[in-house]
Amino acid sequence: MECKITLIPGDGIGPEIVGEAVKVLNKVADKFGHTFNYTKILMGGCSIDEYGVPLTDEAVDICKASDAVLLGAVGGNVGNSRWYDVAPNLRPEAGLLKIRKDLGLFANLRPAYLYNELKKACPLKEEITKDGFDMIIVRELTGGLYFGERETKTVNGMLEARDTLTYNEEEIRRIAIKAFEIARKRKKKVTSVDKANVLDSSRLWRKVVAEVSKDYEDVALENMLVDNCAMQLVMNPGQFDVILTENMFGDILSDEASMITGSIGMLSSASLGKTKLGLYEPSHGSAPDIAGQNKANPIATILSAAMMLKFSLDLDKEANAIEEAVAKVLSEGYRTVDIASNETKEVVGTDKMGDLIAANI
Amino acid sequence: MECKITLIPGDGIGPEIVGEAVKVLNKVADKFGHTFNYTKILMGGCSIDEYGVPLTDEAVDICKASDAVLLGAVGGNVGNSRWYDVAPNLRPEAGLLKIRKDLGLFANLRPAYLYNELKKACPLKEEITKDGFDMIIVRELTGGLYFGERETKTVNGMLEARDTLTYNEEEIRRIAIKAFEIARKRKKKVTSVDKANVLDSSRLWRKVVAEVSKDYEDVALENMLVDNCAMQLVMNPGQFDVILTENMFGDILSDEASMITGSIGMLSSASLGKTKLGLYEPSHGSAPDIAGQNKANPIATILSAAMMLKFSLDLDKEANAIEEAVAKVLSEGYRTVDIASNETKEVVGTDKMGDLIAANI
Ligand SMILES: CC(C)[C@H](C(=O)O)[C@@H](O)C(=O)O
Ligand SMILES: CC(C)[C@H](C(=O)O)[C@@H](O)C(=O)O
């Protein structure tokens, strides 16, 4: 099979980790007789440096003409308190928002599970995680506060800023369907998270999700308030299978969920739309503090490449080969520094981790 | 001193836990020579049953005419998937939103700390909590998505729901000032949490908080994105002193923060405005499943009464007496069932816990 993959190395550790994923993909191509043609584009800070904007329309066109997009990470100045001075559409992260919207990627899938090999790194007590946990967050990605109208204006001599959170039935229905479809192939439970005791958009969310659930009688539906969910994730993460939620709640809860696994350097994600074209990226950020030091963990990106093979290219066997290679290397005791413990056999750098995984394909 | 306290027992376990707090307050009155005059009002489900609305204007007037308000908890049908059918202003929780707005209680203070005696109940590993943690969330309570315009209408034959998130400079400034004032008396660090890489309201938030911080050169200001904060709370809660944030983020983060203490039945809260009049309530909910069973932990409510003495009535000595009595009873090994462990000397009911604390005043 021959296919076109757009690579977006991005900022910070992005280029390093995408490099390792390509190494592994090339090994897959060799072994299974495929041809992966790569095109690189710029997004984020590097694109601002080159073109003055975080993502050009030409770059989006290249993505649209490809079968799948593999992203490292964008952004860098997190924590910079002068951020609000920069026009929002000129910050590195705006590239990410633009690509999600332009490619119509309304469904963000973020698996969060506890690796047996990494239980030591999990911040939760063993009595809570003894049976493990394995959930996937299905986050709506092109609606809500992220893409609502916003305005900052002077009212009575004072600045006033407004953001809007809007959802319509269709936007809710399509993401709900994704969640139920995924749950059907897993533990058959959807926890829909909202704030229906306060928000109109959440009440519509609850109504539409209940309607969709009628077509999935084999899948259990539970509604949970977002504040309660933030607690339950810490207290009893094992209760969750599929968490379905809107854009901002999903942003917060998926970061919390990935952190309780203790292995945020290991978690992949997929952003999908109506067509096969998807965007795949690690759940973690661009970690500018360790960029270029051969310290970053490439596994989340490599596993994102596996998701890409599965969801966009229908190469299930090949995806499994990557997942097995990762499991093998971990079971042999190799770790990057972020997931190392006193049981680690050898702490390896970014490139060696990529080599080891590629060698096991 | 003579003062007027409005009691709002509310729903579920509310009446039981408020009853124990009154027991303790009466002991304080006796011992220190004060007269506390109580007036009870209805709010929540019980008010709906009686008056058809979750809070009457007359009840609000009684609160306004008093020195402080002590609340148990309201609500009950959490998890009911037919919620969205009930008009929002007719649900029990709407009483809480109305009282916050009508009394102008814009600052919600939620301490979250790790009790040494309760480390066993904390869900986080000891390596993370070994130095303890002690933070207070300062949540804006009368703005944002909670009180913005909202509308559900049909657009192109489809339902569409919209909520709005609005903040002006003044709303941000006054809550920021509260946070810095509190930090000044604590560990002198404010972490302001927003989503400035996406929201206009967050950018204004960051700008105003930075301005306010100039008047507090002794207090360190740090900005953090809300998704990152949800992670940091689990990974390294010890880094926080005062967390300052808007209404919805505060709702989510304060529940997460209280859960990582492992003692949500122990955490008090205060909602304050421009005047001395404040509303005090436990951080937990109405727990309808255990209502009337003498199982609820009254400590959060008793500690909320202590906060009331301190913030609304300027009775610091008396407040300390309550806090010390609670510490004493805990150190003697008495526990309600929610905080019991194998080291507990005696598991006691709601009323006995109240008796023990009152006896130690
Ligand atoms: C960078 C930022 C705009 C983005 C988001 O909030 O969606 C990130 O946090 C994520 O979760 O992918
Ligand atoms: C009951 C609900 C409306 C309320 C809120 O969201 O503010 C509660 O969760 C709280 O935190 O006090």
B88 CB-contact burial (10 Å; exposed 0-12 / middle 13-18 / buried 19+): middle
Buried (b) or exposed (e) across A229-251, using 16+ Cβ within 10 A? bbbbbbbebeebbbbbbbbbbbb
How are beta strands A150-155 and A189-194 bridged, if at all?
Answer: unpaired
> CATH for B1-107+265-361, among 3.40.50.150, 3.40.50.300, 3.90.226.10, 3.40.718.10?
3.40.718.10
User: Which residue has its alpha carbon closest to ligand 1 atom 2?
Assistant: A93
Instruction: With H, G, I as helix, E, B as strand and everything else as coil, classify residue B146.
Output: helix
At the top level of CATH, the class of A123-259 is alpha beta
pLDDT (average), residues A293-307: 97
pLDDT (average), residues A240-250: 98
- Hey, what amino acid is at B232? Q
Q: State residue A80's pLDDT score.
A: 41
Report whether pLDDT(A82) > 60.
no
Torsion of CA B335, B338, B339, B340, to 10 degrees: 60
Which of A175, A199, A101 is closest to B161 using CA atoms? A199
- Ligand 1 pocket mutation pick from A71, A89, A96, A255 by most atoms within 8 angstroms of CB: A96
pLDDT tens string B113-168: 998 888 888 999 999 999 999 999 999 999 999 999 999 999 999 999 999 999 99
- Write down how long chain B is: 361
Q: State residue B119's pLDDT score.
A: 85
Which residues from chain B sit within 8 angstroms of residue A289, using beta carbons?
A: none
pLDDT tens string B36-67: 999 999 999 899 889 989 999 999 999 999 99
How are beta strands A158-168 and A220-225 bridged, if at all?
Answer: unpaired
Q: Which residues' Cβ are closer than 6 Å to ligand 1?
A: A 75, 93, 96-97, 251; B 197-198, 227
Of the candidates B75, B88, B259, which has its C-beta nearest A235's C-beta? B259
Mean pLDDT rounded to a whole number for chain B: 94
A163: annotated active-site residue = no
**Cα(B296)–Cα(B335) distance, integer angstroms:** 11
Same fold, B1-107+265-361 and B123-261: yes
**Cα(B115)–Cα(B95) distance, integer angstroms:** 32
Which residues from chain B sit within 8 angstroms of residue A86, using beta carbons?
A: none
Residue spans of the domains in chain B: they are 1-107+265-361, 123-261
Q: State residue B342's pLDDT score.
A: 81
Of the candidates A148, A161, A256, which has its C-beta nearest B230's C-beta? A256
Q: Are A243 and A138 in contact (CB under 8 A)?
A: yes
Mean pLDDT rounded to a whole number for chain A: 94
- Portion of chain A with pLDDT greater than 70, in percent: 97
A77 CB-contact burial (10 Å; exposed 0-12 / middle 13-18 / buried 19+): middle
Comparing alpha-carbon positions, the chain B residue that sits nearest to A150 is: B200
**Cα(B252)–Cα(B243) distance, integer angstroms:** 12
pLDDT tens string A6-19: 999 999 999 999 99
pLDDT (average), residues A154-170: 97
- Hey, what amino acid is at A207? K
pLDDT (average), residues B173-199: 97
CATH topology of domain A1-113+262-361: Isopropylmalate Dehydrogenase (3.40.718)
Q: Give, in order, the Cα–Cα distances in Å from B119 to each of A232, A236, A276, B159, B341.
A: 19, 17, 49, 48, 10
pLDDT tens string B81-105: 344 566 777 888 899 999 999 999 9
Which residues from chain A sit within 8 angstroms of residue B122, using beta carbons?
A: 125
> CATH for B123-261, among 3.40.718.10, 3.30.460.80, 3.90.1150.10, 2.40.10.220?
3.40.718.10
pTM: 0.95
Residue B89 assigned to a binding site: no
